[in-house]
Structure 1
Amino acid sequence: MEQHPEHEDTTQQRLTDLEIKASFTEDLLDKLDQVIVRQQQQIDLLMREVTLLRQPPTEGDLSRSTNARDELPPHY
């Protein structure tokens, strides 16, 4: 089966276009993966902070003054 030169050019151009799209898609996937990893690290940090905030206060925490007047800056 003989192909026409125009058909070969069209096929080659379509193949080149697909390769370019695949390359951009791989790059986008890598960037999205980096975003997901960073967001998971942020979620892990926030979960640790929430866990710490939910813990009951210790004796050291209770010994601190809870009077708002004691927490005012010295210039008041």
Structure 2
Amino acid sequence: MASMIDLEEQIAHLTRTVDELSDIVARQETELALVTRRLAILMEREASRELDAGGTVPLSDQRPPHW
């Protein structure tokens, strides 16, 4: 049977691990938001470039007709 000290040590370790994982998730959320904004900007630039080249406005959110 585990002693009270062993259980307290395990809880402390698990608490530290949860805190570290929480920090990682928060950082990834920030990075993902930045990447999403950059992708939107790139998509707008490419749509503008295609329109300027005489093409039609791309419908990037729609599946091709053969799907």
TM-score (norm 1): 0.65
The structure where helix makes up a greater share of residues is: 1
TM-score (norm 2): 0.74
**Aligned partner letter, 1:52:** S
**Aligned partner letter, 1:39:** V
Q: How much identity, in percent, do the aligned residues show?
A: 7
Unpaired runs of 5+ residues, structure 1, are 59-76
Match of 2:29 among 33, 38, 50: 33
> After TM superposition, which residue ranges in structure 1, 4 or more long, deviate above 2 angstroms?
none
Match of 1:42 among 38, 41, 60: 38
Please give the alpha-carbon distance, in whole angstroms, between the structure 2 residues aligned to 1:56 and 1:43.
Answer: 20
Length, aligned pairs only: 54
> Aligned-residue CA RMSD in angstroms?
1.9
Unpaired runs of 5+ residues, structure 2, are 55-67
Higher-Rg structure is 1
